[in-house]
Amino acid sequence: MADYNNLKVWLDGEIIEYKDAKVPILTHSLQYGSGIFEGIRAYDTGNGPAIFRLDDHVNRFFRSAKIYYMNLKFSSEEFKNAIISVVKTNDLKSCYIRPFAFYNDDSIGLSPFNKKISVFIAAVPFKEYLTEINGVRCKISSWKRISSNILPVKAKASGNYLNSIIAHLEARYSGYDEAIMLAENANIAEGPGENIFIVKDGKVISPGTSSDILEGITRDTVLKISKDLGYEVVERDMHKEELYISDEVFFSGTAAEITPIVEIDGIKIGDGKPGKITLSIKERYMEIVHGKIKAYYNWLTFI
Ligand code: PMP
């Protein structure tokens, strides 16, 4: 288990010791998954740490809360400053930041109507998530991605992640690194915690935002970087067989960054190695998050 005991976290407006931030075991959100959250990263730059696309993450957090009827008691500006203060207080150079809003109420009943909402912000030291630098091997999951007439896919909500977790575990227990999930209509949706891209004939292609995906901030970054690098970018539906015959496939995500996918269901993608265009996007992404390119400084919040 990770030892976070020397960290400080923000809870409902105060910075306190991690070990003092406690909830009762019958907390509603623990029992029912009724929380909303974010995953944000700060990277070391030559100029101290910088949080990547903080405004966009804060906006998504408030959108997730709105969809799930959670009325947060502070402004997005206050929340942004709270995130910055957690990174500062812990003196972290590069870290993963986890804001979380939840029903802080220990009752056994299902309804959280009018129950107390708490918010915490934690920041922990963090390295690469999908560590296979040579690319990952994926399985098309037998579990479909939740569709937005069942749960709001556009909200980053805890309960939604049971769908991600079961797909991920199925893939891992079947000997793969990660899952790829289809939507109900057989279109490619996304990974359990990542958006997906293919590269075909020099074009960078990803499912559009009207499909059942979380609107990833890294996804948006990839679309912009790809255009800046001169690639044609297309957002459209695709089926799984198109993945098998793509030149390149990759995941994007705050944790996964840009992760090449080199094999799907035992079929090699391209020559089975990370693709050139994928690697060029990854290289540019890493330069941007590490503050190496001034033109993208508007995405960085320096601490
Ligand atoms: N899809 C899902 C289901 C995710 O959990 C994530 C991670 N937040 C992503 C896509 C990628 O989103 P982002 O690039 O904003 O991290």
State in Å: Cα 221 to ligand 1 middle. Answer: 12
In a 13 Å sphere around the CA of 139, the CA atoms on its Cβ side amount to: 17
Active-site annotation holds for 156: yes
| Tokens at 73, concatenated | 């008691």
**What is the pLDDT, as a whole number, of residue 74?**
92
Please say if the pLDDT value at position 2 is more than 80: no
**What is the pLDDT, as a whole number, of residue 127?**
73
Tens-place pLDDT, residues 133-148: 789 999 999 999 999 9
Tens-place pLDDT, residues 61-101: 999 999 999 999 999 999 999 999 999 999 998 999 999 99
Calculate mean pLDDT across residues 148-158.
97
State the Cα–Cα distance between residues 25 and 31, nearest whole angstrom: 8
Torsion angle of C-alpha atoms 238, 218, 141, 199, degrees rounded to 10: 40
Closest C-alpha residue for ligand 1 atom 3: 193
Question: What predicted TM-score, i.e. pTM, was given to this entire model?
Answer: 0.97
Please say if the pLDDT value at position 26 is more than 60: yes
**What is the pLDDT, as a whole number, of residue 132?**
64
Helix 54-67 and helix 217-228: axis angle, to 10°? 140
Closest C-alpha residue for ligand 1 atom 2: 193
State in Å: Cα 109 to ligand 1 middle. Answer: 30
The mean predicted confidence, pLDDT, of the chain is: 96
CB 139 within 8 A of CB 180: yes
224, amino acid identity: K
19, 156, 273, 276: the catalytic one is: 156
**What is the pLDDT, as a whole number, of residue 130?**
57
State in Å: Cα 14 to ligand 1 middle. Answer: 28
Q: Which ligand 1 atom is the nearest neighbour of the CA of 153?
A: 3
Calculate mean pLDDT across residues 36-43.
98
State the Cα–Cα distance between residues 262 and 260, nearest whole angstrom: 6
**Residue 59 or 3, more confident:** 59
Calculate mean pLDDT across residues 43-56.
95
Tens-place pLDDT, residues 180-193: 999 999 999 999 99
CB 122 within 8 A of CB 149: no
Question: Residue length, the chain?
Answer: 303
Q: What DSSP string describes the chain?
A: ----TT-EEEETTEEEEGGG----TT-HHHHH--EEE--EEEEEEBTEEEEETHHHHHHHHHHHHHHTT---SS-HHHHHHHHHHHHHHTT-SSEEEEEEEEE----SSS--TT--EEEEEEEEE---SS--TT-EEEEE-SSPPPPTTTS-TTS-BGGGHHHHHHHHHHHHHTT-SEEEEE-TTS-EEE-SS-EEEEEETTEEEE--TTSSS---HHHHHHHHHHHHTT-EEEE----HHHHHT-SEEEEEETTTEEEEEEEETTEESTTSS--HHHHHHHHHHHHHHTT--GGGGGGEEE-
Pocket of ligand 1 (CB under 6 A): 39, 164, 190, 193-195, 214, 216-219, 252-254
Closest C-alpha residue for ligand 1 atom 9: 194
Calculate what percentage of the chain has a pLDDT beyond 90: 95
Calculate mean pLDDT across residues 242-251.
98
Q: Which ligand 1 atom is the nearest neighbour of the CA of 156?
A: 5
State in Å: Cα 38 to ligand 1 middle. Answer: 9
